[in-house]
């Protein structure tokens, strides 16, 4: 999959569908040539290099008025040697100079893919699945070596990139910017697509044209954030969900990030992705190393949905890992929205008993079970059960839940502490705070300094004590505030720029240690409902709580946007009570169930408070989900109608062989006397006959009809209640149906 033209020094990564080409310039730096649909592996491509004499340009060599880094497409640019755009690398020496020039030294092709030490990354199980190209660069004056790593996958149109820096000189260096990926496109005639929002409305799809300048999304919060996701896509203006070129860039990292697209005065586009340079400075002593997080870039000529397929396939199968990667996830119920902090053990058992009667498999005890935790002002950091609530401890409660035939799960917020806690009283220096400054709080809590190994050890030991003595099958890992006053008492002044990154490494380390100690433990990343819903966490937690907003209609946008990058198997999605506690909306329980089923399914309410009719609906939902969860976890996901663009949302999950599909259609607001509607499907066998049925509809059609003419959506009333219509004449708002399409 990697071809090297030794004569022209051109490197060609290709897998039968996609090509990526770059070359070594005469000056020793790397130049970019092409990224897109596969080109011939035996072609000559140096003529793609474009040079011209430009006024007000700084040139590399005296007498040469054509060669300038400012106007050459580069592979990993540095600043200060004729390129005035943002660089991928900034390094400063003890002399104060920030000039750096990396020169090519050699390459190596490696079967398979190496892990990244201490960092999440994609992987392979068979070396034949991928090939890795390592390019060794060096600044001879600085003594800085940079090893650029490119992995191309056989079965996925994706390339994973990272960079390893080694100080082979005799003087200390400081990395001020070390991006994971830089890519220069020959033109900027694209629209950018980002996932942005806030708490309870994260990952909305935002599309905009690329003007001259530097559009960017980022986080400086210490976590990847609700506000922006570490992802950026580019699409041509004519590209749709299912046709046209689309490029996606995703960072496998959970901390501060920067994703930017710089358009220069000649309409050349430079995309960069990596750790946010703001607040970052890494001290590289002689012999020291630094490895950037992994960035994944994908290409598709089948639109944004095709781009998503590449991410889904790679992240579902070669980023998520371990015991739960390929297993069907249990249907769970969480007590938080039902009880908040107000419960005792017998209440929880009654809560779980009703869930077990409905076929639910996992009971999750949320916040409030530990320390002096009766509100959000105390207890964090003291991971020991509260005997007033749980007289038999977590072990006793877990035994009672297991005795019902259910699994038991537990909520933690390992990275946080309250002032009113034994941990804080014993170790007030364990929090992140700047000396002489008053630390800010969020939700009455402070951030533990996970850049310090002894702090991580303290929390690990507490969690291990519980997990090793009680039967706990699942943990919900929450994180309810970002980092402020970033400073670590354990680091000297010239290493304070490392705290943000070292913190995330500590978070990863705690996850890794728990997974190794308890390999069958299912971890769900919560982070205040999506504040760290990123590819980095997917490596440790195969599912994440998608949003604290559990309203089904709000979730249409949240889950639709999330699916741009992340597989639906990773999205925690629950049926909550009505009126909804976030927005006060009343939504039919069928709609709540239909929307939540396209994810890791569960409930967030007290089943004892439901009517008999609602309980019947819950039991039917649980049975239906269990019958179909293998398809929902492993099938191909298609976005059909966007809730960002109209009154309907629709998506489809189909078997890869086209034998079967589930289609979810939700009408947000009722309409009066609306038109007939048909929904073209995807991923079916055109020559196969299918049986289509929903709650009110049943007919047969061939795949070609369903994909060309479309699935006929039933709504006989079109906004008018018709007596005797048997339900199909419903004119209610927030109406959803699931259509089963089964090959005959």
**Strand order, beta sheet including 10-14:** 2-5, 10-14, 18-24, 30-37
Alpha helices in 97-191 (DSSP H): none
State the pairing for strand pair 735-743/689-693.
Answer: antiparallel
Told to judge if 548 belongs to the known catalytic residues of this protein, a careful annotator would answer yes
Q: Say whether 516 sits in a helix, a strand or coil.
A: helix
Tokens linked to 604: 């967030």
Q: Say whether 78 sits in a helix, a strand or coil.
A: strand
Rounded CA-CA distance 463/466 in Å is 5
CB 448 within 8 A of CB 459: yes
CA distances from 303 to 204, 233, 236, 653 (A): 18, 11, 9, 17
Rounded CA-CA distance 426/382 in Å is 11
Q: Say whether 720 sits in a helix, a strand or coil.
A: coil
Supply the DSSP string of 270-311, one letter for each residue. EEEEEE-STT--EEE-TT-EEEPPEEEEEEESBHHHHHHHHH
> Which residue among 367, 420, 478, 715 is the active-site one?
478
Tokens linked to 478: 């929450």
Tokens linked to 492: 């000297």
What is the number of alpha carbons within 13 Å of residue 118 lying toward its C-beta? Answer: 13
List Cβ<8 Å contacts ≥24 apart for 45-48: 45/8, 45/10, 45/12, 45/21, 46/8, 46/10, 48/21
Read off the DSSP letter of residue 228: B
Rounded CA-CA distance 331/522 in Å is 13
Task: Report the candidate in 322, 329, 388, 391 with the shortest Cα–Cα distance to residue 364.
Answer: 329
End-to-end CA distance of the chain: 40
CB 665 within 8 A of CB 737: yes
Tokens linked to 195: 């996932």
CA distances from 737 to 592, 638, 699 (A): 11, 16, 16
Rounded CA-CA distance 333/352 in Å is 8
Tokens linked to 459: 């929390």
CB 225 within 8 A of CB 255: no
Rounded CA-CA distance 152/20 in Å is 9
What is the number of alpha carbons within 13 Å of residue 287 lying toward its C-beta? Answer: 0
Burial 555-593 (b: 16+ CB within 10 A, else e): bbbbbbbbbbbbbbbbbbbbbbbbebbbeeeebbbbbbb
Q: Say whether 642 sits in a helix, a strand or coil.
A: coil
Told to judge if 157 belongs to the known catalytic residues of this protein, a careful annotator would answer no
Q: Which helix (H) or strand (E) holds 247?
A: strand 246-252
253: Cβ–Cβ under 8 A, 6 or more apart, which residues? 119, 120, 180, 224, 230, 275, 293, 294, 504, 534, 535, 536
> Which residue among 367, 548, 551, 715 is the active-site one?
548
Rg value, the chain, Cα = 27
Residue 404: left (phi > 0), alpha (psi -120 to 50), or beta? alpha
Rounded CA-CA distance 323/545 in Å is 19
Active site members: 478, 548
């Amino acid at each position: 999959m990697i071809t090297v033209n030794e004569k022209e020094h051109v490197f060609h990564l290709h897998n039968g569908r996609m090509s990526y080409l770059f070359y070594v310039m005469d000056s020793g730096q790397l130049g970019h040539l092409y990224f897109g649909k596969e080109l011939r592996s035996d072609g000559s491509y140096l003529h793609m290099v474009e040079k011209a004499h430009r006024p007000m340009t700084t040139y590399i060599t005296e007498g040469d008025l054509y060669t300038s880094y400012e106007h050459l497409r580069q592979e990993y640019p540095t600043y200060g040697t004729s390129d005035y755009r943002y660089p991928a690398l900034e390094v400063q020496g003890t002399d104060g100079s920030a000039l750096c020039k990396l020169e090519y030294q050699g390459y190596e092709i490696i079967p398979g893919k190496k892990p990244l030490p201490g960092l999440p990354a994609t992987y392979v199980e068979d070396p034949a699945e991928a090939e890795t190209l390592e390019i060794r660069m060096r600044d001879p004056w600085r003594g800085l070596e940079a090893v650029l790593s490119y992995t191309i996958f056989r079965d996925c149109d994706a390339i994973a990139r990272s960079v390893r820096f080694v100080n082979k000189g005799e003087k200390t260096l400081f990395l001020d910017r070390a991006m994971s990926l830089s890519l220069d496109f020959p033109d900027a005639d694209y629209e950018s697509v980002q996932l942005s929002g806030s708490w309870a409305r994260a990952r909305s799809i935002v599309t905009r044209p690329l003007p001259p300048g530097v559009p960017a999304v980022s986080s400086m919060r210490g976590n990847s954030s609700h506000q922006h996701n570490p992802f950026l896509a580019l699409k041509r203006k004519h590209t749709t969900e299912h046709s046209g070129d689309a490029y996606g860039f995703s960072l496998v990292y959970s901390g501060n990030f920067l994703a930017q697209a710089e358009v220069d005065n000649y309409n050349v586009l430079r995309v960069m992705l990596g750790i946010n340079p703001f607040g970052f400075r890494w001290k590289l002593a002689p012999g020291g190393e630094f490895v950037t997080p992994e960035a994944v870039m994908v290409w598709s000529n089948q639109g944004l949905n095709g781009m998503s397929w590449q991410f889904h396939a790679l992240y579902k199968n070669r980023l998520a890992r371990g015991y739960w990667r390929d297993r069907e996830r249990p249907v769970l119920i969480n007590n938080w929205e039902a009880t908040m902090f107000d419960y005792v053990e017998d209440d929880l058992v009654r809560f779980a008993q009703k869930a077990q009667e409905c076929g639910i498999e996992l009971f999750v005890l949320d916040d409030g079970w530990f320390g002096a935790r009766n509100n959000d002002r105390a207890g964090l950091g003291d991971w020991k059960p509260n005997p007033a609530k749980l007289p038999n401890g977590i072990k006793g409660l877990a035994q009672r839940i297991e005795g019902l035939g259910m699994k038991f799960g537990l909520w933690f917020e390992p990275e946080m502490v309250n002032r009113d806690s034994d941990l804080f009283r014993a170790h007030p220096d364990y929090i992140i705070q700047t000396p002489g400054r008053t630390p800010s709080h969020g939700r009455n809590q402070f951030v533990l300094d996970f850049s310090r190994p002894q702090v991580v050890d303290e929390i690990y030991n507490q969690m291990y004590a519980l997990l090793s003595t009680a039967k706990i099958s699942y943990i919900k890992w929450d994180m309810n505030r970002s980092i402020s006053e970033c400073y670590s008492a354990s680091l000297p002044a010239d290493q304070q720029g490392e705290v943000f990154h070292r913190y995330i490494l500590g978070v990863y380390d705690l996850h890794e240690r728990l997974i190794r100690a308890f390999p069958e433990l299912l971890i769900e990343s919560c982070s205040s409902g999506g504040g760290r819903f990123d590819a980095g966490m997917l490596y440790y937690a195969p599912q994440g709580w998608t949003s604290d907003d559990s309203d089904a209609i709000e979730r249409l946008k949240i889950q639709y946007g999330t699916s741009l990058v992340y597989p639906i198997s990773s999205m925690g999605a629950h049926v909550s009570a009505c009126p909804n506690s976030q927005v006060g909306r009343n939504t039919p329980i069928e709609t709540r169930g239909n929307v939540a089923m396209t994810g890791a399914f569960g409930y967030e309410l007290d089943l004892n408070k439901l009517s008999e009719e609602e309980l019947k609906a819950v039991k039917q939902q649980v049975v239906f989900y269990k019958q179909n969860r293998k398809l929902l976890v492993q099938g191909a996901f298609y976005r059909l109608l966007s809730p960002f663009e109209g009154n309907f949302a629709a998506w489809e999950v189909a078997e890869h062989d086209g034998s079967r599909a589930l289609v979810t259609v939700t009408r947000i607001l009722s309409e009066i006397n609306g038109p007939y509607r048909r929904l073209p499907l995807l991923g079916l066998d055109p020559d196969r006959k299918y049986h289509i049925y929903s709650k009110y509809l049943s007919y047969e059609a061939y795949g070609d009809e369903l994909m060309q003419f479309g699935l006929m959506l039933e709504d006989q009333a079109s906004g008018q209640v018709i007596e005797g219509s048997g339900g199909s004449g419903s004119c209610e708002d927030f109406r959803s149906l699931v259509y089963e399409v089964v090959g005959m």
